[in-house]
A and B are shown apart, each in its own frame.
Chain A
Amino acid sequence: MQVREAKTDDAMKARTMTEDATNQMRETVERIYRSESRQVLATLIRLLGDFEVAEEASHDAFAAAVEQWGRDGIPANPRAWLVSTGRFKAIDGMRRRARHDASLDELAKQLESATASIETEPQEDEPVEDDRLRLIFTCCHPALAPEAQVAMTLREVCGLTTEEIARAFLTKPATIAQRIVRAKAKIRDARIPYEVPAEKDLPDRLDAVLRVVYLVFNEGYSASTGSALTRHDLSGEAVRLGRLLAALLPDPEAMGLLALMLLQDSRRAARTSPTGELILLEDQDRSLWNQEQIAEGITLVQGVLSHGQVGPYSIQAAIAAAHAQAQTAAATDWNQIVGLYNLLLQAEPSPVIELNWAVAVAMRDGPSAGLNLVDAILKRGDLDTYHLAHAARADFCRRLGRTKEARASYQRALSLTRQEPERRFLELRLRELQD
């Protein structure tokens, strides 16, 4: 009906077309928002010197884009347009507010002269990529609490909303919001510089960044509470972050971490049953492993190993690769894996790695060798409250036919774990031993 009328009514026709065009432009801007908003924000933070001012400026720029691009067409370099518009809007806003606060006028002047050069500078990709790195390093700054680092990285670098982060970590949005607000206040008050650390600090600071990425990955990978779907996204985000880091900063450990995440993630479909039960590596249906991720992971590991610089993530990736390459559980090269754990223990001595090493030794030399090693670790008291240490001990005892001890250790492990599928797995083993 409306359409027919519009045919005879030029004004209405024109309006319908404008509405269509605006909607279409909104979609285009929406698409550009998804691909460019993080980069635009990262650059605006550098230019404007403040997270919140930059966020506001970025929002202004995208809002202006819907209007202006519809009229004038999409600019040749949308990102540069958005950055320049955002900067202009921020300075303009400061001017307007300066009517109430004279100090802002001065600030606006300073900003204008300090950032005037970007108008004439060619917009090359390189400085923009630097801005993304700056953003990552600032979000993962050690002066921020670890959970704040995670929240900041996911929101500012990955573009997740406060609510999405809260859902993924099973916390209230208000809690996450406060973490982010406090982190930003800390960055401002402590004058945490917006920069990629100097070379001498880089290894330590990169460690912190990689730790945050791996934390995000593990939160998604090993989490068993909450809906599997929402938590899965965290691992995906971590892999995306890992890719970004490896591309921006081709550090061997960044590559190693990406490889490790890909290789672990490749087993996702095989590690739980359709009813959500945990399936151990040796019992997994290997045809479900994602071969594409495995191939990419192995290539990355080989690249890192061939350069001779091997850090903890690369070694762990090499261990994961050894598993991925075994056609069957029985074909696993345990000798190679024991060797890699030895390397890992040297690179990063820790009781948990020692436990993994003990399990690998048990696979190579039999359960009694493993039992001796685990008992020695437990005797030191290091892993007394770590459920997997008791679960490993229980497994060795079970295989040795020491049922009573096995049962006691399974029970201890059960009392220490809070993860539902792990609980069910341990309960199943306990029931089997009672039969």
Chain B
Amino acid sequence: MKYLCLVYVEEKTLHAMPQQERIALSDESMAYCDELQKQGQLLAASPLHPVETATTVRVREGRTSTTDGPFAETKEQLGGYLLLDVRDLNDAVRIASRFPAAQYGSIEVRPLKENGCA
């Protein structure tokens, strides 16, 4: 089964980190992803640029509107994602709990609907 892990972190916390620590976190995350990919459990993963780079698109009555940033002010922001292909939800949860960012922020694990598009 496929699961999307949405990694939420407080950007403020990340910015406040000493650079060395931030680099270590990033290295550790990449090493973990490599490991998962080799085992065939990871289909895709990436960190995201900060939320201020976001553009939100809406189409209403045929008119497209775009706005800057996300709609709501939240404490934690979407900072990256992992797309897993694993046996079941508990395997996905186990993998998410080992992802380094889980120690700073939170990871939302969502099963993908089967027979969806793409």
Chain A interface residues toward B at CB < 8 A: 52, 55-56, 59-60, 63, 93, 96, 100, 155, 161-164, 173-174, 176-177, 180-181
Contact = CB atoms under 8 A, between A and B. Distances in A.
29 contacts: A52-B94, A52-B97, A55-B94, A56-B94, A59-B41, A60-B39, A63-B38, A63-B39, A63-B40, A93-B35, A96-B31, A100-B24, A100-B28, A155-B90, A161-B1, A161-B87, A161-B88, A161-B89, A162-B90, A163-B1, A163-B88, A163-B89, A163-B111, A173-B88, A173-B89, A177-B90, A180-B90, A181-B90, A181-B93
Contact of A59 (B31, B39, B89, B90): B39
B31 A162 contact: no
A221 to B, nearest CB: 25
B88 A162 contact: yes
B11 interface: no
Contacts of B28: 100
Given A100-B28, A177-B90, 19 more contacts: A52-B94, A52-B97, A55-B91, A55-B94, A59-B91, A60-B39, A63-B39, A100-B24, A155-B90, A161-B87, A161-B88, A161-B89, A162-B89, A162-B90, A163-B1, A163-B111, A173-B88, A180-B90, A181-B93
Interface of B: 1, 24, 28, 31, 35, 38-41, 87-91, 93-94, 97-98, 111
Nearest to A64: B39
B3 to A, nearest CB: 10
A161 B91 CA distance: 9
A71 to B, nearest CB: 16
A174 B94 contact: no
A57 to B, nearest CB: 11
A360 B13 CA distance: 71
Interface centre among A56, A63, A93 (most CB of B within 10 A): A56
A157 to B, nearest CB: 14
Contacts of A63: 38-40
B73 to A, nearest CB: 27
B91 A174 contact: no
A93 B60 CA distance: 51
Contacts of A163: 1, 88-89, 111
Nearest to A173: B89
B93 A177 contact: yes
A174 B31 contact: no
A177 B88 CA distance: 9
Interface centre among B31, B39, B94 (most CB of A within 10 A): B94
A181 B94 CA distance: 8
Contacts of A181: 90, 93
A155 B94 CA distance: 14
Contacts of B94: 52, 55-56
Nearest to A159: B87
Contacts of A164: 88
